[in-house]
Amino acid sequence: GGATVEGAESQPASPAAASSDRDAASKAASEPTIPTVTYHDACYLGRHNQIYSPPRELLEATGATTVEMPRSRDRGFCCGGGGARAFMEETIGTRIAVERSREAIGTGAQVIATACPFCTTMLSDGVASEGADVRVTDVATLMLEAVRRGGE
């Protein structure tokens, strides 16, 4: 911090400056914040079709800061929904969806984005089981939100 003088209080230079400060603070509080996002590579889009960069480019176009999970792109890890596993009850070890969700949560991102409805469901379940305050959504939803924000 800076130097302070005992007993001195910071005062705005004028009533107009105080009003301007309040208006700026109010505007900042009402504007939606752009989240930090981690992208989960869906098996079919990624490893089957080798599509890795376009979803990330779309996320960056929203203004979001993106962070990668340790296992991503061609080394990505399934959400647990592939091969009809979404309809099976796993009984041995950690559920795949929970393991993948922990990786995503570990990035510190506020949002996990994917481009697959099965992945969205599986990761939402995994995040809920961890009790984490992390949103799981589709890349298209984040694009729509950016358009509504004005593409900032």
**Chain centre distance of CA 144:** 15
The residue assigned the tokens 């400060």 is 21
CATH code of the domain covering residue 44 = 3.40.50
pLDDT (tens digit per residue) in 3-60: 444 454 445 455 555 555 555 554 444 556 788 999 998 887 777 788 888 999 999 9
CB 152 within 8 A of CB 34: yes
Give pTM, 2 decimals: 0.71
User: What domain count does the chain have?
Assistant: 1
Residue 24 lies in a domain: no
Residue 2 lies in a domain: no
C-alpha angle 51/54/58, rounded to 5°?
Answer: 150
Residue 91 lies in a domain: yes
Q: Domain range holding 64?
A: 36-151
Residue 87 lies in a domain: yes
Residue 12 lies in a domain: no
User: Residues with Cβ < 8 Å from 44, sequence gap 6 or more?
Assistant: 116
Residue 23 lies in a domain: no
